[in-house]
Structure 1
Amino acid sequence: MPDAGSVQFFDALAEMARTSTVVIDRPRNKPHPKIPEAIYPVDYGHLEGTTSGDGEGIDVFVGSATGAGVVAVLLTADLVKRDTEIKLVLDCTPAEIEAVRSFLVDVLEIGAHLVTRTN
């Protein structure tokens, strides 16, 4: 059973996603702008009107499970950019969650820790 802090954390993220406009910068199956061989497995963008650790909008991966909400977060550490961030995984199936994790870790070679919503 998830602890109350975990539930509260995911509830807060869900509210933030629900009350924000999702802006898709990089559609599914399109290449990364700096790494052409890296193809996005799901839509990727940000939540308009939010701020992440890098000063930009909170990053979000959006899958095909419409209505599922925030199903996971990825805590990332990018040694090249020398930053850490949280990336929301929104409306993704389990297969899409794994594809996003693999995209970050195996393709972009960014350290990422996956935390899934358990309630």
Structure 2
Amino acid sequence: MKAFENNAFFWQKLDTLYLAGKLVVDQPKNSSHYKYSNLKYPVDYGYLSDTASNGQSPIDVFKGSEKNNLVQAVAVSADILKKDCEIKLLVGCNEEETYEILEFLNQTEFQKAILVRRGDEVPEWASND
């Protein structure tokens, strides 16, 4: 059985959420984190209004310098202080910005993150989606 990971239709759904939403940048590039002033945002950071992640807060977005409006990756973070996991979309980020975002998300001992990059496979079972 083929793996379900990186199904192209999943990424299309994320693109639709991003393109249908309104990006609100509340932390511009190089601004300080609201709690930890030593943490600087490597790219613009904000959220999509009128969306919900885990049924509560809106979907978070890192917006890089590229003119691309496709979701190219998601960062999945686990935070033991907040006792939660979060998903953040990466849009328009070049390789350097993507690396800087991962560094930013992994700076503390309390939070760690991984990156899931966009794939383009369409499993046979999903061909009628």
**Percent of counterpart pairs with the same letter?**
36
Structure 1: gaps (5+ residues) = none
User: Is the counterpart of residue 33 in structure 1 residue 17 in structure 2?
Assistant: no
Q: How many residues in Structure 1 have an aligned counterpart in Structure 2?
A: 118
Shift of the 4–33 alpha-carbon distance from structure 1 to 2, 3 Å rule, reads: closer
Q: Secondary structure at the match of 1:106?
A: coil
Structure 2: gaps (5+ residues) = 121-129
Larger radius of gyration: 2
Report the TM-score, using the length of structure 1 for normalisation.
0.90
Report the TM-score, using the length of structure 2 for normalisation.
0.84
Shift of the 107–99 alpha-carbon distance from structure 1 to 2, 3 Å rule, reads: farther
Q: Secondary structure at the match of 2:107?
A: helix
Q: Which whole-Å CA distance do the structure 2 matches of 1:28 and 1:38 have between them?
A: 11
The two structures, once aligned, show a CA RMSD in angstroms of 1.9
Deviations along 1:73-118, whole A, 9 cap, x unmatched?
0111111100111100011111111110110012585221100113
User: Is the counterpart of residue 57 in structure 1 residue 67 in structure 2?
Assistant: no
Which residue identity does 1:106 align to in structure 2? Q
Of 17-26 and 105-114, the range deviating more from structure 2: 105-114
Deviations along 1:20-52, whole A, 9 cap, x unmatched?
000001000000010000000000000110001
Aligned to 2:117: 116
Residues 96-107 of structure 1: pairs in structure 2 closer than 5 A: 96-107=97-108
Q: Relative contact order (C-alpha < 8 Å, sep 6+): which is higher?
A: 2
Aligned to 2:23: 22
The list of structure 1 runs, each at least 4 consecutive aligned residues, that deviate by more than 4 angstroms after superposition, is 2-5
